[in-house]
Structure 1
Amino acid sequence: MQLHIQQAFRAFILLTFSTLLFKLHYTRDISRFINPKYEVLSQIASIIFLILFFIQVTRVWSARENLHHNCHHDDHSCHHDHGDAPLNTKIMIAYLVIIFPLLTGFLLSPKVLDSSIADKKGAMLIVSKQNQASQVEKNKLSGESSPKKKELSGYESPIRSINLKNQREISVEEYNELVKQLEQKKTIEMNDYVYAAYYDEIGMDVGKYKGKKIKLKGFVYKEKELSKNQLVISRFLITHCVADASIIGFLSEVSKDPALENDTWIEAEGVLDVTSYNGTELPLIKIIDWKIINEPEKPYLYPINIKIM
């Protein structure tokens, strides 16, 4: 029997990938990398890696008389890899590329995106652009160029309480219900499920919600351009994975400098007002009460998917 070192190493890589994915799911750290709607796919990937590992194990040992099948080292027409070719630079680079994510996955602890990332992206610039885009979208919708707007404006049924807490995908009608509830509420509670949807709606028509009370939580981010009593209560929104994470947040103002450091998580209550930043109209929260909290177990936000029928 002949032991093929490279085939054994490849089997080990497949097993390690399967183990890494299993570990991320077991510790729930997978939520720090991808949108929960893809968790089932990553679980399937873990199983596939395990199946491929068992298939690969059959190639680790072989009878000497069957080595290379009908191929010979001097046969230039043989192009497939038997797994026992001498190591060269090309093969080594390929192995290093594959091993690198495994090393980082096992040796480095998952890190939550924080104000340092927000600073690099230019958080206030992003927030102002998001609101500018929302206002442009509002102008488009006012021309009834969107089916969602038509549905919303023509929807006349009474407000009913709907429980969509665990739904990742909702219908247009259900989304309209959420918006109706937002418009009717005296106090807007920005829980993780509705946060992204409410954020978009408020940004689309800032004046409509002026004077309403709002409750939210997020991490503190301060820019040099802001005054001492201003800060951004921020969250990261993940559409697919952390690579596409975007920051969303509300410019907030307190009566005096709260002396809060960046990345401090707070829960705040305030009143919505309107301000401008770089010529863009923005919602402003005038904070009336706040407290420091621990970073939540699930710090990221995820958009609600709307089924278009």
Structure 2
Amino acid sequence: MYSPSLRAHDVFRAAILIGFAWYIASLVKTDSLHYYLAPRMEIWIYWCPVALGFMAVFLLYRAISPEDEANCGCEHPISSSVIKNLLIYGLFLLPLTLGFLLPDRVLGTSAAIKKGFSLSSPLQTELYKENAGGGTSSTQQFMQKKIETSAGLPASTARSSSSSASKTFIAPDAYNEEFASLAGLLYEQPVIQVSPDIFSETIGAIELYKKDFIGKRISLTGFVYKDPQMESTAGSFAIGRFLVLCCTADALPFGVLVHTSEPSNLPNDTWVQIEGMIGTAQVQDQEVLRIDAAEIRKVDQPPIAYVYPNADSVAAFQRANALRTP
């Protein structure tokens, strides 16, 4: 027997599904998915409102449909405990309510402090940890795909650094071959423009061959990050970005140390564009990249503030460089 209480549960569940469908559809309509997901994951979300809508329609139909003949032994009774039902539905209602009430905003310094801000490229740091531990994670799987992609490229593209650059960089292992090719292209630039499309790859390539890039000019954009460790060095802060692999839950805050001739009064989370010379500094007995800033300009936060891994950073650099070249 399909009791009125069971029909009420179906109506309530349908309402929750419609709420989630409405919320996701609003994110798609306002182009706000990038606050939560990497672009390569967004395609899996586009059709969620449709699927959730069909599920809601089925529940509503079951709630108003005529009573079926009982089939004893095949039912899954709902708990009669009010507290248990409130807890279960609360698990869905709480995030849905917060999603509608809280504004969409990018992660900033407060999240970077909690996650731990790195002065090294996450692609390099995580890869080193995974190789040392013998594990395989999403970062290493992504790097493996990059190797496979590079292996399938024409020989002229794969050897671009050795054929067109005056300096050839030797990769220490297979995982760094793309960084070596990218480093050769970056080395030839009078001013290295760090594109958001290959932000982490560019920093990773320079970091891998930091000794060779000392004295080269560089320009990049990011948010200001300060902590007591950096404030102990006069005029130092970091310019950072969040690298998102799948969603903002796995976002990795990282950046480059910036040194200025005078103490900086820029508050945290200020977006700036910096141009200066590449150098190095010692932070907790670790040699990291440092930019000796020649110019610091405040800029607006970009529409898409996060950066993402690129499957072919060499090709992306060549496309961007072709657009900049008159």
TM-score w.r.t. length of structure 2 = 0.75
CA distance in 1, matches of 2:256, 2:237: 8
**Aligned partner of residue 53 in structure 2, secondary structure:** helix
Deviation at residue 184 of structure 1 after TM alignment: 1.9
Which residue does the alignment assign to 1:262? Answer: 268
CA distance in 2, matches of 1:43, 1:187: 39
Q: What letter corresponds to residue 266 of structure 2 in structure 1? A: L
Deviation at residue 11 of structure 1 after TM alignment: 1.2
Q: What letter corresponds to residue 266 of structure 1 in structure 2? A: V
Which residue does the alignment assign to 1:304? Answer: 310
**Aligned partner of residue 105 in structure 2, secondary structure:** coil
Which residue does the alignment assign to 1:166? Answer: none
Deviation at residue 176 of structure 1 after TM alignment: 6.8
Which residue does the alignment assign to 1:70? Answer: 70
Spell out, residue by residue over 1:248-275, the C-alpha distance to the aligned partner (whole angstroms, 9 max, x if none). 1010111111311111111111110122
Matching of residue 220 in structure 1 with residue 224 in structure 2: yes
Matching of residue 248 in structure 1 with residue 254 in structure 2: yes
Matching of residue 54 in structure 1 with residue 57 in structure 2: yes
Distance 1:134 1:35, change over 3 A: closer
Deviation at residue 79 of structure 1 after TM alignment: 3.0
1:127 to 119, 123, 133: 119
Matching of residue 194 in structure 1 with residue 195 in structure 2: no
Which residue does the alignment assign to 1:208? Answer: 212
Which residue does the alignment assign to 2:242? Answer: 236
CA distance in 2, matches of 1:128, 1:176: 17
CA distance in 2, matches of 1:134, 1:45: 32
Q: Is the 8 A contact 1:215 1:269 kept in 2?
A: yes
Deviation at residue 190 of structure 1 after TM alignment: 0.8
TM-score w.r.t. length of structure 1 = 0.79
Which residue does the alignment assign to 2:188? Answer: 184
Which residue does the alignment assign to 2:321? Answer: none
The count of aligned residue pairs is: 278
Q: Quick check: which one's helix share is greater? A: 2
Q: Is the 8 A contact 2:206 2:213 kept in 1?
A: yes
CA distance in 1, matches of 2:65, 2:124: 65
Which residue does the alignment assign to 2:142? Answer: none
Which residue does the alignment assign to 2:47? Answer: 44
Identity among equivalent pairs (%): 26
Q: What letter corresponds to residue 200 of structure 1 in structure 2? A: G
CA distance in 2, matches of 1:121, 1:52: 37
CA distance in 2, matches of 1:92, 1:135: 44
Within 5 Å, which residues of 2 pair with 1:110-149? 110-123=104-117, 126-127=118-119, 133=125
Q: Is the 8 A contact 2:123 2:201 kept in 1?
A: no
Deviation at residue 121 of structure 1 after TM alignment: 3.1
Q: Which structure has the bigger radius of gyration?
A: 1
**Aligned partner of residue 193 in structure 1, secondary structure:** helix
Q: What letter corresponds to residue 292 of structure 2 in structure 1? A: K
Distance 1:263 1:100, change over 3 A: same
Distance 1:173 1:44, change over 3 A: farther
Q: Is the 8 A contact 2:182 2:205 kept in 1?
A: no
Spell out, residue by residue over 1:17-40, the C-alpha distance to the aligned partner (whole angstroms, 9 max, x if none). 111111011112210001011111
Q: Which runs of 5+ in 2 are unaligned?
A: 133-145, 166-175, 314-326
Matching of residue 277 in structure 1 with residue 283 in structure 2: yes
Distance 1:30 1:132, change over 3 A: closer
Which residue does the alignment assign to 1:30? Answer: 33
CA distance in 2, matches of 1:255, 1:246: 29
Deviation at residue 293 of structure 1 after TM alignment: 1.2
Q: Which runs of 5+ in 1 are unaligned?
A: 141-145, 161-171
Q: Quick check: which one's strand share is greater? A: 1
Distance 1:80 1:256, change over 3 A: same
Deviation at residue 204 of structure 1 after TM alignment: 1.1
Spell out, residue by residue over 1:74-125, the C-alpha distance to the aligned partner (whole angstroms, 9 max, x if none). x6x35324x7x745332221111111111111111123111112222332xx
Matching of residue 293 in structure 1 with residue 296 in structure 2: no
Matching of residue 80 in structure 1 with residue 72 in structure 2: no
Which residue does the alignment assign to 2:14? Answer: 11
